[in-house]
Amino acid sequence: MCTAATYQTKDFYFGRTLDYGFSYGEKIVVMPRNYCLNFRTMGVVKQHYAMIGTAHVSENYPLYYDAVNEKGLCMAGLNFVGNAVYRETAEGKDNVASFEFIPWVLGQCASVQEARELLEKINLTNESFSGDLPTAQLHWIISDPNETITVECLKEGMKVYDNPVGILTNNPPFQEQMFQLNNYMNLSPRSPQNHFSGKLSLHTYCEGMGALGLPGDLSSQSRFVRAAFVKMNSVSKDSEAASVSQFFHILGSVDQQRGCCETNEGKFEITIYTSCCNANRGIYYYTSYDNHQITAVDMWKENLNSKCLICYPFISCEQIRGQNFNYHLG
């Protein structure tokens, strides 16, 4: 399970949590402009926009979970198990495997509007990357500073929805997620007034009562509501430090702690990593479950005209600063 979010101050920020029972050995991966992309059906693309994001690299191919390209277009794929339906190859269409979807879009689109036009020609196919890495059932969020859309491949075909909240989780389908927000229109960051009865003297007894009823469980519907409420009501200064800090607080509202979400296999889903990318500056920030210190990778510090992937393994050991002594983790 996962949650993706957008946030706008002076710059535009995009990121996600990856909530899962185990890690595939994810890395921060910069794909330079001249890295050769060999699409299964669409042929070889030798030049494209550079991008940065988190990916599992297999056979020197980046299987991106989320990424931002050099133009500031952002994209992430989130689990959509039981609802995602991919097709066989179709004549007259751009046949793109689901694992190729992020580099296909980010490699050639500079905006959501350009992505919309590209989506009109796309047929997402059910071809898997390999026998060891079967097709993942996903839906996607695509964002730039001007708009956000959600893309879902359902049994009735591909659907593209405007996403005015800039949030995506998992099931149910996006239109149902948005409809459920109607149930929470009474929530507010302000203290509530007594509408229960004019005959009763009712008073607030603590701060935060305006949000009574905000879901607190870890289900995808509840995470959608909670992340939307926190994001839509977030206030911060527009400096880089304040914006990044606030973004991590937004996604921190849906963190999954080990022990609170047990799978049918007896494992525990945790927030393996949380990302935040300044899409204007190409700086990718992240934390991991065992390292709460924010780490940053700047795409523009790399040679973006090279042909080879640049990979940075996650820093996964907790970093603790001793304020009045030299601290060493035991």
Superfamily of segment(s) 2-174+236-313: Penicillin V Acylase; Chain A (3.60.60.10)
Q: Decide if pLDDT at 120 tops 90.
A: yes
Q: Domain-by-domain residue ranges, the chain?
A: 2-174+236-313
Say how far apart CA 28 and CA 316 lie, in whole Å: 12
CA–CA distances in Å: residue 212 to residues 106, 181, 318: 40, 14, 34
User: Is residue 268's pLDDT more than 80?
Assistant: yes
**C-beta separation of 41 from 93 below 8 A:** no
Lookup: tokens for 297: 């990778």
pLDDT at 22: 83
Banded pLDDT at 327 (limits 50, 70, 90): confident
Please identify which residue in the block is written with the tokens 């890690």. Answer: 23
Return d(Cα 253, Cα 263) in angstroms, integer. 21
pTM metric for this prediction = 0.95
CB distance 51 to 103 below 8 Å: yes
Tell whether omega for the bond before 172 is within 30 degrees of 0, i.e. cis: yes
Cβ(230)–Cβ(215) below 8 Å: no
The yes-or-no verdict on residue 329 having pLDDT over 90 is no
- Which residues does 196 contact at the CB level (< 8 Å), separation at least 6? 202
Q: What is the pLDDT of residue 129?
A: 93
User: Band of the pLDDT at 180, cuts 50, 70, 90?
Assistant: very high
Identity of the residue numbered 270? I
Give the mean pLDDT of the chain. Answer: 95
Residue 27 pLDDT = 97
pLDDT band at 313 (very low <50, low <70, confident <90, very high): very high
Write the DSSP assignment of 253-269 as a string of letters: TT---TTSSB-TTS-B-
pLDDT, position 265: 86
Of 225, 212, 288, nearest in space to 254 by CA: 225
Which residue in 2, 109, 153, 261 is the catalytic one? 2
How many whole angstroms separate alpha carbon 109 and alpha carbon 69?
9
pLDDT of residue 198: 92
How far apart, in Å, are the Cα atoms of 32 and each of 29, 129, 279, 301?
10, 21, 16, 11
Tens-digit pLDDT profile for residues 191-209: 989 989 999 999 999 999 9
Distance CA 9, CA 38 (A): 37
- CA-CA distance, 47 to 45, in Å (whole number)? 6
> Quick one: pLDDT band at residue 316, thresholds 50, 70, 90?
confident
- pLDDT band at 330, cuts 50/70/90? low
Q: How far apart are CA 55 and CA 29, in angstroms?
A: 6
Which among 172, 168, 159 is positioned nearest to 76, based on CA atoms? 168
Q: Residue 230: beta bridge partners?
A: none
Bridge partners of residue 138, in order along the sequence: 79
Token look-up 């990121």 returns 15
Average pLDDT of span 279-299? 97
State the pLDDT at residue 160.
98
**Rounded CA separation 307/289 (Å):** 32
Q: Is 2 a catalytic residue?
A: yes
Give the mean model confidence (pLDDT) for residues 48-74. Answer: 97
For residue 220, the SS3 value is helix
Token pair 């898997």 is found at 128
Q: Tell me what pLDDT residue 1 has.
A: 81
Token readout for 235 is 């206030």
pLDDT at residue 95 above 90? yes
Of all residues in the chain, the percent with pLDDT exceeding 70 is 100
φ, ψ dihedrals at 225, nearest 5°: -65, -45
> Would you place residue 165 in the very low, low, confident or very high pLDDT band (cuts 50, 70, 90)?
very high
